[in-house]
Amino acid sequence: MNIIGNRWDAVLKDEYAKPYFSTLLKKVEEEYKTKTVFPPKDQVYSALKAVDYDKVKVVILGQDPYHEKGQANGMAFAVNDKIPMPPSLRNIYQELESDLGFRPEGTTLIGWAKQGVLLLNTTLTVREGAAQSHSAFGWQTFTDTIIKECNKREKPMVFILWGSNAISKKQYISSNHLVLQSAHPSPLSAYRGFFGSKPFSKANEFLKKHGQTPIDWSKINDFNLDDAPYYQAKGKIMRV
């Protein structure tokens, strides 16, 4: 079964075969038929398509996609070009500037993904205007497995957990990896520990310590979106 189109399919093949996953896809497909759902169907798995399993160095967990029209593109916290910057992403950039001394341009975050940053929402779809509307569909069982599979990687990686939902996933992460946790960058919580947490420099220090190339966090749109495999993969949620 070919859903993602890279090594993730082999890693997740047992998950694809489980009854809950088939039920999940049926629920989501029905929602797309009867409601307005984000992201577009061809971008549901964007995060996994952009970063193959063997290439992941940093995992940043989000909750569910942006639920306003035109925002969600399948990667946590990112939006497509020419879309107004959401408040959470604006706060992420504010912390990046405080941490590393520069404020990047652009909003797609594909430049991060191409360097091995997996921008994973724990729920991959959402109904328009209704945050967490698909949170009980079964996506979190699926994304918990993704986190567990990343945790199995022998090479140490960084898990950045923002907010209580993301922090709850810490139970799946072994001590050989670095966990950076803080409040969520949302305006409702950013001043309760997100600002000043310095996740970007801490992540790079850990990667360098373990012989890995650090992330150039200034590269945001450093990729031709028209060439991205997840923009070419049109069609249904599941491709067999």
d(CA 106, CA 130): 26
pLDDT, tens only, 96-127: 999 999 988 899 999 999 999 999 999 999 99
**Tell me, what's the pLDDT at 227?**
42
Tokens of 109: 């975050």
Q: What angle do CA 80, 32, 84 make, to 5 degrees?
A: 20
Tokens of 203: 């992540």
Please determine, for residue 57, whether its predicted confidence score (pLDDT) is greater than 50: yes
**Tell me, what's the pLDDT at 92?**
98
Please determine, for residue 137, whether its predicted confidence score (pLDDT) is greater than 50: yes
Please determine, for residue 186, whether its predicted confidence score (pLDDT) is greater than 80: yes
Mean pLDDT of 152-177: 96
pLDDT, tens only, 68-103: 999 999 999 999 888 999 999 999 999 999 999 998
Task: Give the number of domains in the chain.
Answer: 1
- Is residue 64 part of the annotated active site? The answer reads yes
d(CA 177, CA 157): 5
Query: Does a structural domain hold residue 14?
Result: yes
Query: Does a structural domain hold residue 238?
Result: no
**Tell me, what's the pLDDT at 82?**
86
Query: Does a structural domain hold residue 237?
Result: no
Tokens of 50: 């952009």
Tokens 């996933």 found at: 169
Query: Does a structural domain hold residue 239?
Result: no
Range of the domain at 40: 8-232
Helix-strand-coil split of the chain, %, nearest 5: 40, 10, 50
Query: Does a structural domain hold residue 121?
Result: yes
**Tell me, what's the pLDDT at 235?**
36
Please determine, for residue 131, whether its predicted confidence score (pLDDT) is greater than 50: yes
Residue 238 and residue 14 in contact, taking contact as beta carbons nearer than 8 Å: no
Query: Does a structural domain hold residue 240?
Result: no
Per annotation, catalytic residue among 14, 42, 64, 226: 64
Query: Does a structural domain hold residue 111?
Result: yes
**Tell me, what's the pLDDT at 114?**
96
CATH number at residue 51: 3.40.470.10
**Tell me, what's the pLDDT at 239?**
32
Query: Does a structural domain hold residue 108?
Result: yes
Please determine, for residue 225, whether its predicted confidence score (pLDDT) is greater than 70: no
Mean pLDDT of 216-220: 95
Mean pLDDT of 188-212: 97
Tokens 């140490």 found at: 156
